[in-house]
Structure 1
Amino acid sequence: MPLARPRHGGRHRHRGGAVTPRGWAVLTLAGLAVALVVAGALLIPWSRPPAPRADQLAALRALPVDQVARGRAFHGALRPAGWSALVVGLVVALVLGLTPLGGRLVELAGRPLGGHWAARAVLGGLAVMLLADLLTLPFAAWRQTVLVRYGLSTQGWSGWAVDLLKSYAVSAVIGGLALLGFYTVVRLAPRWWWAFGAAGAAGLVVLLSFVLPVLVEPVFNRFTPMEQGPLRSELITLAARDGVPVRDVLVADASRRTKAVNAYVSGLGPTRRVVVYDTLLREATPAEVTSVVAHELGHAKDRDVWVGTLTGALGAAAAVVALYLIGSWAPLLRLAGVDSVAEPRAFPLLIALVTVVGLVAAPVQAMVSRRVEARADAHALALTGDPATFEAMQRRLAGVNLADPDPPRWEYLWSASHPSTVERMAAARAYARESGR
């Protein structure tokens, strides 16, 4: 009687004692997980809890009743579209990934080029992602109607469609190159593709941190240097006093699509810059703009982009190894109708797994983001020494951006990337009490 063939993903050692590729993958995943936990423990400001609830409620009572009501009504109107898109996106990912339908779509997309492996890998992968986008497109349009109805969007449907097509094009270029690279590695190193794939995923995260500000962001916005004047001089002086090298302070033409105000810091090393929306310059006082930029300087000072890049690279590498291990589970392969997770037909299965993991990880990512943003708020307060202006800016941000100043707890824990308006106002008041200002 012939010996039973060992299942892929069984033992981690050959009979001679050598560790198998799967065994090395387990060890690698464990090492990456430890590195990710250590990086998170050392680099994320876990010891910065939100302000006491009593202080938050006091801040809420200080806001105009009509502003609070309008913000809550706006988010109540957005909520059905957002959650519907999430549910439909999840269902599409599971249907394509856990049935043979996804593999058939990949094969169908590759036929125009003769079914070559590269055609199936690139065109098939892009077809899967495009189908998911198209099926959730009605909810994106629904969201746009809400933005228009509440006066936050300044875009017509033609401008909205152009931006949407731009996002599809950028995603297709980046996704197509990533797919081609990934499946090329799979063919060249069929037993060790997970190792090269993990290294490539980590490298891609780092590369995108450098190139997105200079290659991708200009596709969606026009950036111009802030004009010479007292405000620009104040911001440059503030950055110098903070010891943060900033290449430039740029103004984005956000007003062509929104009335919302914002600012951010992006890029690494020579590509780092502070960007402010032109809407912020129109809506806020110079002191309030300075407070916002001080917050962004806090991100630069604490190397938050570097930290995000490092943790993102470790997470991406760990995800590739985990997909190799989980995707080798025979029941999953049978559901998807594929023999190996490494073949192009299995790409929908990978997408399904990534989607589920992303949903599970969302609350953790949101919590980490809130702690980092709270640290940047504290930096802004310490750098400017002006809690009154900081609080006034939070009021303005909430009013112009139609924020819910105190969102439902479940929604806050699930998806809030920033402290709530009342948390930030309470933090400013706490700083004022402690500093005597």
Structure 2
Amino acid sequence: MSTTRRTFLARCASGIAATTVAYQTGTTIAAKNDRPVFGLIGAGWQPETKRQGRGIAIGTQAASLADIPVICELDSVAADYANQKICGGNATIVDDYRRVLDSPSIEAVLIATPDHWHAKIAIEAMRAGKDVYCEKPVAVTIQEGQWLRKVARETGRVFQVGTQQRSEYDQRFLKAIAMVRDGRVGNLRRIHIGLGPGWKGGPFATAAPPTTLQWERWLGPAPLTEYIPQRTHRTFRWWFEYAGGQLCDWGAHHVDIAQWAIGQENGGPVSVGGTATMNQPLRGGMPTRSDMYNTPIEFSVTCNFPGGIEMLIDSTRNGITFEGDRGRFFVNRGTLEGIPVDALKDQPLDDDAMTKLYRGRQPTSHMQNFVDCLKTRDVPISDIATHHRVLTTCHLANLALRLGRTVQWDAESERVVSDEEANGLMSREYRSGYEIDSV
């Protein structure tokens, strides 16, 4: 590191540290030594639609439990809004996440950038000695998930993934898992996961980037391209360059619950295949146009798991249906319904059914679980190892649709069987200057 850069970072770190004192965050005031110190990386805010990004949501949750003296954001409008909304205007605003990682006062980071930045920032954060809470999906390729799991093991950092269905929504998802494992539908045969359709869009016109957004740095590891407004904010999800469409957005939540229920949270499917309506023609699994969304719109994917369990993932009503030889029930964020659910009134689950799933602890909020694990150094409820396995299923679904054929998966070696073209889509090239150091 050059003297100039070292001096610059030292000044930045001292500036952040100077703000790490007792101050108002939301409605809570607490002393520094009573609370952990977090840095928020990525906020998100669209004033024209009044839509908040996930960084605002998790930052607000964290502010009741931790101090947040610094916010990193490449959109100055979003940065200012997040500072006022979460920190009462008291945080330091920076536009380079490395300033957060280089600060010795920051103990953990909250990562809520677009998905294509997740792995790079999280890996560098863990190597800088920071614990990590990262929004899902944590990776845009299977290889990135492997790297994250590897670095988390090497560094021993606490890594919580933002799959809040493992903790929240009145614990109805935990109850659903407990019901399946308790045999309330008999022998499980089929799981139907509805995610709703992806978005259709394009062709879009290019434009000059707004002066409030650092477009080149927003692209980061992704290919350099002209600015199109629909590539940013919430619609980044419909471009493979930055995300994985509905299959990696909602799929990261619902496939997670389904694989946990069948005991495959550390395993995976044996085959994945299906059909989809795409936004544009693909060649070799890659987009052929730069002015249209390129992720699936309507889709139907069948994943076959060990034990003869079939998982159907499609673009119908959002939620999960568990089907066995003695009944079926449905769960989503708003309801848990079906005859086996009604039967719980007279035949309730064991009192400890939920705590057994929650690693022997009483279920709490997702952010509280993260903060608790910072103190105990326990594995959090949404750990990176199991999330990687779940997200692999989602990536394989996209991969099969992009190539237009069924793929056979070896979960032990984590390779597609006898299909090097498919294996080639498990990784990607990074733009010069934004590579990920996975070693």
Q: TM-score, normalised by structure 2?
A: 0.24
Write 1 or 2 for the structure with the bigger share of helix: 1
Identify the structure with bigger relative contact order (alpha carbons < 8 Å, sequence gap 6+). 1
Which of structures 1 and 2 has the bigger CA Rg? 1
Q: TM-score, normalised by structure 1?
A: 0.24
